[in-house]
Amino acid sequence: MSVSTPTLQTQPSAVDRPGSAQQNEVTRLLPPWLLVTVTVLLCAAVLIPIVYIAMASLNSDIGVASGEFWPSSWTLSNYSTIWTSVGLANGLMNSLIVAGSTAVVSAAFSIGTAFVLVRYQFRGRRTILRLLLGFQSIPGTLIVLPLFVLFSSSATYLGLQVIGTRWGLFVTYLTFSLPFSTWVMVTYLRGLPKELEEAARIDGATNLGVLTRIILPLSWPGLIVSAIFAFLPGWNDVLFASVMTRPDTQTAAVALQIFSSATEGGALPQYGQMMAAALVSAAPVVLIYMFFQKYLVGGLTSGGVK
């Protein structure tokens, strides 16, 4: 006759249970009161200026100049006037063309370049990676004058007009965005399993087939991140756009700067129109972030955990 011995079942302690109060206390970086305080302060530092700009855009110039936070008289005339006084429509169109084309071309070139740098071993590979990283440390102010002289001389020696054209500004932005986009894609492709590519090669796929059928569908988060970070410098830049453009090709950032400088010498600066134009110019970037938020999170965190 066998005697069965009862098994002792130990209850997990409060520390071992996931989601317990003790575990939360251990893993929490800040005390609750300090966490709430820091969160409120950070949100206030971001939201208060945005709310003030929105309120000022709905206020009259006299009200903004007198320091009113809450408008005494609400008006939407600023949003209807900026399209003629600031020239915002032409600036937004030029910014979308230049920054959008820079983002698309930079992302397209970066995935092919990163695929070669990650999956193939050749002499000079590490040197190229170091050079791409080193290009990011060069300040843009050091390149403005040499780039302007180079593009100006092209009209004399080659008969090719670069200064004042959209495509000249596009080439300028591409030189800065392509190295960073390539590094983003290098980091992302390092996290993709090689087994998928090996299986595709066994099935007879060529290098181009592996890139277009395997790598490209899996790299959309990284591509969107590289495209957005290539789009932002072209959208926000004033330095190169003010040198490389003329009135019919100037971007929205340059149009805002010119309008602000022109109204500073007046008896009453047009604060309401400047605030409205600033909000309209920032709206495309905000919409892009909101629409591609999940891809941004996935692309930026890729490669962090192996």
- Examine the domain organization and report whether 194 and 60 are in the same domain: no
Residue 8 pLDDT: 46
Residues 88 and 61 in one domain: no
Q: In terms of residue numbers, what domain contains 61?
A: 27-77
46 shares its domain with 125: no
pLDDT tens for the chain, residues 1 to 306: 444 544 444 454 444 455 445 445 544 667 788 888 888 999 999 899 899 989 988 888 788 877 788 888 888 888 888 888 888 888 899 999 999 999 999 999 999 889 888 888 888 888 888 888 887 778 878 888 888 888 888 877 777 888 888 888 998 898 888 888 898 888 888 888 888 888 888 888 888 888 888 888 888 888 888 898 899 888 988 888 888 888 888 899 898 888 888 776 655 678 888 889 889 998 888 888 888 877 776 655 554 444
Q: What is the number of domains present in the chain?
A: 2
Mark whether 57 and 118 lie in a shared domain.
no
Same domain, 39 and 119: no
2 domain-assigned: no
Domain holding 281: CATH number? 1.10.3720.10
Residues 56 and 156 in one domain: no
Query: Is the same domain home to 110 and 191?
Result: yes
Contact of 218 with 143, CB cutoff 8 Å: no
My answer on whether 35 and 129 are in the same domain is: no
Residue indicated by tokens 């492709």:
189
The CA distance from 21 to 16, in Å, is 11
Residue with tokens 């971007």: 251
**pLDDT number for residue 198:** 84
163 and 238 part of one domain: yes
Angle at 172 between CA 169 and CA 177, to 5 degrees: 120
Q: Residue 154 is which amino acid? A: S
Asked if residue 104 is part of any domain, the answer here is yes
Among residues 48, 77, 106, which one ends one of the domains?
77
Res 28: pLDDT: 62
Q: Which of 55, 77, 99 is the last residue of a domain?
A: 77
* pLDDT of amino acid 24: 55
9 lies in some domain: no
Q: What is the pTM of this model?
A: 0.78
